[in-house]
Amino acid sequence: MQPTALYPRLAVILHFLLPSFVQHRIWPASSKPRRLFATSWLDGLRGVAAYLVSMFHYTEHHFDWYLYPYGFNNPDDHVPSSPLQLPFIRLVYSGRPMVHVFFVISGFVLSYKPLKLIRKHDYNGLLRTLSSSIFRRGFRLFLPVFSITLIVIALIRLGWIYHALPTFREQIRDWYRSIFITVSSSWDWDGPRDLPYNAHLWTIPIEYSNSLFLFLVLTGMSRLKTCLRLVLLVCIIMFCLSSRHWAPAEFLMGMGIAEVQLIQDAYQEQQVAIFKDEENAESENFLAPSRPRASSIWVAQLLFKLFIAANLIFALFVFGWPSHNFDKTPGISAIWRHTMEPFWSSGGNLWVIFPWYALSSAQLVLAIQQTKSLQKIFVTPLAQYLGNVSYSFYLFHGIVQAMVARHILFYLWPLVGGRDEAGVWGRMFVWFWGKVFTDIPTFWAADILWRTVDMKSVEWSRWIEGICTI
C-alpha cells in the first residue's frame, strides 16, 4: 500500500481514537453546539453522580480507611483520621447514594413527557409515547451491557483482567449464562445481586423493571385529576417502602418531582397571563384586581427557601453515611435508630441505609429542581459532558480501575514513603493523584464507548422499533 493512501486511513483512526472534546477543539466546525432544555440539569447531575460512584469504588478498593467516619479508625491503622472523612467533605467519594439518585432522575425523566401529555389530555399521544418507551427500554439498557461484557471477555482472554476459563467455548457459554442472569434479575425488582463479569451491572435490571413499573403507574393514573394523582402517588410510595421495595419508591418520587415541575410551570404561565391582563386593565383605566402584599409574599418565599435548604443539607449529610461505625457516628447514629420497618428488621448496613438514601435522593433532586442557581452547576460544559458519557463511564469504570489503578498506585506510594508508612497528607496525595491518573484511561475508554456503543444503542433501538411497529 502506498504511504500516501495510508495517511488518510491513519487520520480517520486517529480522529476516532481522540476523545470527543479534543475532536471539538481541533475541528470545531464538525461539532454541533449542545442545546440546553429545562431538564438538562438532570443530565449533568447524572454525570456527576456516575463520577462519584467511580470515586467510591476506587476509594473502597485501595483506600478503605476512608470508609470509616472521622475520629474512628480501623484498629490496625495507626494513622489519624483524614479531613476527607469529615461530614459533607466525604461526599466526594460517597458513591453508594448516587445509585439512588440515578433512579430518582430516571423517574423524573421517563415520566416528564407522559405527564405533559396527560396534563394536555392528549391520550393518543400518551399511548404512542408509552408504547415506544416500553418497547425501546430493554434495548436501550441491555445492548450496551451485551457489548461491554463482550469487551470484558476479550480482555479476560488476553490475560489483562480476571481469570480466563480453560477454553474460549467455555468462556462464551459462561458469558451467555451471565447475560441470562443479568436480564432475568429484572424479576427481582430491587434485590441487589452480584453479577459475573461486571459487578456494577446489578443496577441495570433494577432500572429496567422499575421503568416498566413506572410506565404502568403512569398509565393507570393518566385520567385522574392532578390532586388525586399526587395523593395516590404518595400512597403508592409509602406502600412500596413499607413492603421493603425502595427502588419503585425512588422512581415514583422522581415522577412526583416531575409533576411538581409541570404544576409550577403552569402556574408561572398563568401568572404571566394575569400580569398582562392587569397591565391592559390599568391602561384602560379599570381597577386592577387586588394582589397579595409584597411582605407576605416575601415571608412565604423565605420560608420555602429555608425548607428547601434544610432538605438539601439533610440529604448531603445522609449521603456521607460511613460504611463502618455508623451506629456510633454523631448524627448518623440518631438517624439510623429511626430507620423504618421492615428495613430495620432486615439487618445489615445496606438495608438500613436504603430508605434514607431513597428519601435523601429525592430531597436532593427536589432541592436542585427548586433552585436555579444550583441547576447552573449542572448545565456547565463539564457537567453536560459527564452526563453524555455517564452510562458508558458507569458500566466500564470498574474494568479500567481493575486493570490500571494498582499499577499507578505502585509508583505513587514510594513518593510518600510507602503505603504502610504514609501519613495523613501522604495518603491524600496518593489518593488524589492516583484517581487523576486512573481517570485518564477511564474517560478515554468511556468516550469511545459512548460514541460507538451507547449512542448506537439509541439508534438501534429506534431502528428496531421502526421496522417492528405499524
Q: pLDDT (tens digit, 9 = 90+) per residue, 150-161?
A: 999 999 999 998
Q: What does the alpha-carbon distance between residue 350 and residue 331 come to, in Å, rounded to a whole number? A: 18
pLDDT in tens, 75-131: 888 899 999 999 999 999 999 999 999 999 999 999 999 999 999 999 999 999 999
Q: Which whole-number Å values give the CA distances from 41 to 207, 256, 343, in the listed order?
A: 20, 17, 32
Q: What is the DSSP string of 406-463?
A: HHHHHHHGGGGT-TTT--HHHHHHHHHHHHHHHHHHHHHHHHHHIIIIIHHHHHHHHH
Confidence of residue 11 (pLDDT cuts 50, 70, 90): confident
Sign of the Cα torsion 105, 107, 113, 115 reads: negative
pLDDT in tens, 378-419: 999 999 999 999 999 999 999 999 999 999 999 999 999 999
Surface-to-core class of residue 242, CB atoms within 10 Å of its CB (0-12 exposed, 13-18 middle, 19+ buried): middle
Could you tell me which of 342, 409, 392 has the C-alpha nearest to residue 148? 392
Q: What is the DSSP string of 337-379?
A: HTPPTTHHHH-SHHHHHHHHHHHHHHHHHHHHHH-HHHHHHTT
Task: Using the predicted structure, report yes or no on whether residue 349 has a pLDDT greater than 90.
Answer: no
Task: Using the predicted structure, report yes or no on whether residue 193 has a pLDDT greater than 90.
Answer: no
Confidence of residue 292 (pLDDT cuts 50, 70, 90): low
Residue 201's SS3 state is helix
Confidence of residue 74 (pLDDT cuts 50, 70, 90): confident
The three cell numbers of residue 347 are: 439487618
The three cell numbers of residue 19 are: 476523545
Q: What is the pLDDT of residue 280?
A: 64
Longest dimension (CA), the chain: 90
Residues sharing a CB contact under 8 Å with residue 60, sequence separation 6 or more, in sequence order: 67, 323
Q: What does the alpha-carbon distance between residue 383 and residue 373 come to, in Å, rounded to a whole number? A: 14
Asked if residue 90 lies in contact with residue 322, where contact means CB atoms within 8 angstroms, the answer is yes
Q: What is the pLDDT of residue 4?
A: 63
Task: Using the predicted structure, report yes or no on whether residue 64 has a pLDDT greater than 70.
Answer: yes
% of the chain residues with pLDDT over 70: 93
Residues sharing a CB contact under 8 Å with residue 180, sequence separation 6 or more, in sequence order: none
Task: Using the predicted structure, report yes or no on whether residue 182 has a pLDDT greater than 70.
Answer: yes
Task: Using the predicted structure, report yes or no on whether residue 207 has a pLDDT greater than 70.
Answer: yes
Task: Using the predicted structure, report yes or no on whether residue 5 has a pLDDT greater than 80.
Answer: no
Asked if residue 219 lies in contact with residue 229, where contact means CB atoms within 8 angstroms, the answer is no
Q: What is the pLDDT of residue 283?
A: 59
Describe the crossing of helices 203-220 and 96-119 by its angle, rounded to 10 degrees: 20
Q: Which residue has the higher pLDDT, 442 or 12?
A: 442
The single-letter DSSP state of residue 286 is: P
Surface-to-core class of residue 78, CB atoms within 10 Å of its CB (0-12 exposed, 13-18 middle, 19+ buried): exposed
Q: What is the pTM of this model?
A: 0.93
Q: Which residue has the higher pLDDT, 122 or 32?
A: 122
The three cell numbers of residue 264 are: 409550577
pLDDT in tens, 241-284: 999 999 999 999 999 999 999 999 998 888 877 767 666 665 55
Confidence of residue 464 (pLDDT cuts 50, 70, 90): very high
Asked if residue 114 lies in contact with residue 129, where contact means CB atoms within 8 angstroms, the answer is yes
Residues sharing a CB contact under 8 Å with residue 413, sequence separation 6 or more, in sequence order: 419, 422, 430
Q: What is the pLDDT of residue 154?
A: 94
Segment 294-305 shows an average pLDDT of 84
User: CA geometry: angle at 255 spanning 348 and 338, to 5°?
Assistant: 30
Q: What is the pLDDT of residue 78?
A: 86
Task: Using the predicted structure, report yes or no on whether residue 189 has a pLDDT greater than 70.
Answer: yes
Q: What is the pLDDT of residue 278?
A: 62
The three cell numbers of residue 163 are: 481469570
Task: Using the predicted structure, report yes or no on whether residue 364 has a pLDDT greater than 60.
Answer: yes
Segment 337-357 shows an average pLDDT of 87
What does the mean pLDDT of the chain come to? 91
Domain residue limits, the chain = 41-287+297-468
Task: Using the predicted structure, report yes or no on whether residue 225 has a pLDDT greater than 80.
Answer: yes
CB atoms within 10 A of CB 293: 9
